[in-house]
Structure 1
Amino acid sequence: MGYNFIRFDNFGNGISSGEFIDQTISDWLSGVNLVIQELTEGPVLLIGSSMGAWLALIAAKLHPQKVIGVITLAAATDFTKELIWDKFTNEEKDIIKKQGIYDVCSNNPECNESYPISYNLIEDSKKYLMLSKLSEKNIDIYCPLHLIHGVQDIDVPYTISLRIAEKVESQKVVVKLIKDANHRLSREEDLLILYNSIEEVLKSIE
């Protein structure tokens, strides 16, 4: 079955305009909101990967009448706190506070690259935390939700998807763990699981 869809890179990502270092969660969320409010008609199913999955969850909270389902791939919810800030040493925290930017290395031992993280991103993201003690008790999402995650993901632990499933208000939650998959979830067999989830979510709301 064919579907009408919009696929896009948010600000500072992929081929979109802007620089990654200049963006915050609020900026990226504004991009998602723009697509939902201005470029779509009728109900929408949101699909997001990694940081995009966190944005999809936030958007689902903001647009409960519009978003009829969410599918996440390796959801990096609260990554700015749990995967970056909480892992910083006190010295690293002082550096990013003073300089405004700090280069963070990947958890992947095969990756020798680092990427710049701004203190503005860390601070702005506090408004959107979902899993920490600083956030709400439950996640106010009531639509069907499929959480797909690779057990071999060393960038974003699969336990984050399990915690989302526990905290979300929706009772229509499915967690799919792929034992031999990593963070990218881009293999043909991984994509087949995504396709199946699209069919399953849409059938659950008929």
Structure 2
Amino acid sequence: MSAAQYLMRLSLPRLAYHRISAQSPGVVYLSGFKSSMNGEKALALEDFCRSAGYSFVRFDYTGCGSSEGNSDDCMLRDWKNDVLTVLDNLTTGPQILVGSSMGGWLMLLASLARPERVAGMVGVATAADGFVSAFKQLPSELRLEAAKTGEYKMPSKYSASGFYMVKYNFIKEAEEHCVLQSSIDISCPVRLIHGMKDEVVPWQNSIKVAERLTSDDVDVILRRTGDHRMSQSDDIKLLITVVSDLLHKLTQKDLK
């Protein structure tokens, strides 16, 4: 694997990334919470884009993976701004955003901020409003304790300790970026893939996103055996197929 490149930013931590420069529409992969750009889905998409001749970018958010900074100091707005910085500085032409879990939330926020740059989106276990929804479902005594101590333990089987320590301020700031209370003004084609055995983000969340999008071109694809990560070989084949179909659709549209 080639060494990561770094995107320099004035007074901000550098972002690590890998990029293929080719034809557009390109693909930008947005990973999930506490994940890196070296996950199976990201690498599979990179291989596909390389062989199919499309541009591709995968990167690490501030404080994650190989990027500089401390993730514990970050708010959701910081990671949203990372996505916008990558779109603005590392891509040209229309892009398809592929977001996994929290990356699915960020792809919605990025599309709202840069509608002219986002030609399509593919969400995998899209966790729109996820941290906020999970926190609100906690018993009131746990919410009060989190407000008092400034943090709470978010259970996760993907953490070695069995939980992620999440700051209360992070949850409160994330409330400012919730999108499911009203319509989501996004008109590009959207594909939402979700595993029905997802124990982190219920598959119904993708249905909610689909219902609120203003786009007329929205598909929800449910995999009965899929878990949250959707990283089994058949899951990844499905993702590649969906992305490939969307690229073909957008390319054919441009030819008309």
In the alignment, structure 1 segments of 5+ residues that lack a partner are none
Amino acid at match of 2:194: H
Specify the alignment match of 2:75 in structure 1: 24
Q: How far apart are residue 8 of structure 1 and its match?
A: 1.0
| Count of residues paired in the alignment | 200
Specify the alignment match of 1:75 in structure 2: 126
Q: TM-score, normalised to structure 2's length?
A: 0.74
1:121 aligns with 2:170: yes
Question: Can you list the C-alpha shifts for 1:57-112, whole angstroms capped at 9, x where unaligned?
Answer: 110111111100011100011012212x2122222222221222122212x59976
Determine the C-alpha separation between the residues in 2 that align with 1:109 and 1:76.
16
1:198 aligns with 2:248: no
Determine the C-alpha separation between the residues in 1 that align with 2:84 and 2:158.
36
Q: How far apart are residue 116 of structure 1 and its match?
A: 0.7
Specify the alignment match of 1:185 in structure 2: 230
In the alignment, structure 2 segments of 5+ residues that lack a partner are 1-51
Determine the C-alpha separation between the residues in 2 that align with 1:118 and 1:198.
35
Q: Give the ranges of 4+ consecutive aligned residues of structure 1 lying more than 4 Å apart after TM superposition.
A: 108-112
Specify the alignment match of 2:144 in structure 1: 94
1:51 aligns with 2:102: yes
Residues 123, 86 of structure 1: alpha-carbon distance in 2 compared, 3 angstrom cutoff: same
Question: Can you list the C-alpha shifts for 1:149-202, whole angstroms capped at 9, x where unaligned?
Answer: 101101110000011111100011111111101001111111111111112212
Specify the alignment match of 2:214 in structure 1: 169
Match of 1:6 among 57, 61, 73: 57
Percent sequence identity over matched residues? 35
Determine the C-alpha separation between the residues in 1 that align with 2:154 and 2:99.
23
Question: Can you list the C-alpha shifts for 1:126-150, whole angstroms capped at 9, x where unaligned?
Answer: 111111xxx3x21011000000110
Higher relative contact order (CA 8 A, sep 6+): 1
